[in-house]
C-alpha cells in the first residue's frame, strides 16, 4: 500500500510537468532497498510519462542521496518548506522563496 501511494503521488507531480525534450532523466533517493519496489516504481512512472508523450526516452536512476548533489538540493528545498509550515521557521524558506513557481498547492499544508 505504501509503495502504491508513493507511486500515485509521484505520478500526480509528473502530470504537472510539460516535457519539451526527447529525454527525461529522473533521479530518486535509493532509500528503498527492495528491488521489486524500484521495478514497480520505474514501470509506473514510465507509463505515466509515456501517456503524455510516447516518444520520450525515460531513464530513472535510484541513488543514495549522500552521493547525489541534485537529491541533496531537493532535500533542502523540501526541508525548508517543511520548516516553514510545520514550525513557523521561514529562515531557509526565504532563501528559495523567489524560485517557487506554484505556491497555491503549498497552501494545502497550512
* Alpha-carbon gap, residue 9 to 24, rounded angstroms: 18
Query: Going by C-beta distance under 8 Å and a sequence separation of 6 or more, which residues neighbour residue 95?
Result: 80
- 48 in the same domain as 72: no
Can you give the residue range of the structural domain that contains 94? 64-110
- 53 in the same domain as 2: yes
pLDDT of residue 1: 53
Quick one: the chain helix, strand, coil %, rounded to 5?
A: 60, 15, 25
pLDDT digits over 32-73, tens only?
678 888 999 999 999 988 888 788 888 999 999 999 999 999
- 88 in the same domain as 73: yes
pLDDT of residue 80: 94
pTM of this structure:
0.72
- 44 in the same domain as 76: no
In the listed set 20, 38, 58, which residue is the last one of a domain according to the structure?
58
How many structural domains does the chain have?
2
Amino acid at each position: 500500500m505504501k509503495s502504491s501511494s508513493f507511486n500515485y503521488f509521484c505520478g500526480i507531480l509528473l502530470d504537472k510537468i510539460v516535457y519539451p525534450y526527447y529525454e527525461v532523466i529522473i533521479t530518486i533517493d535509493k532509500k528503498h532497498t527492495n528491488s521489486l519496489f524500484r521495478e514497480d516504481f520505474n514501470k509506473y512512472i514510465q507509463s505515466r510519462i509515456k501517456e503524455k508523450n510516447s516518444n520520450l526516452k525515460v531513464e530513472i536512476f535510484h541513488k543514495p542521496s549522500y552521493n547525489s548533489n541534485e537529491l541533496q538540493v531537493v532535500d533542502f528545498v523540501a526541508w525548508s518548506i517543511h520548516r516553514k509550515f510545520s514550525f513557523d521557521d521561514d529562515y531557509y524558506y526565504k532563501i528559495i522563496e523567489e524560485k517557487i513557481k506554484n505556491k497555491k498547492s503549498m497552501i494545502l499544508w497550512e
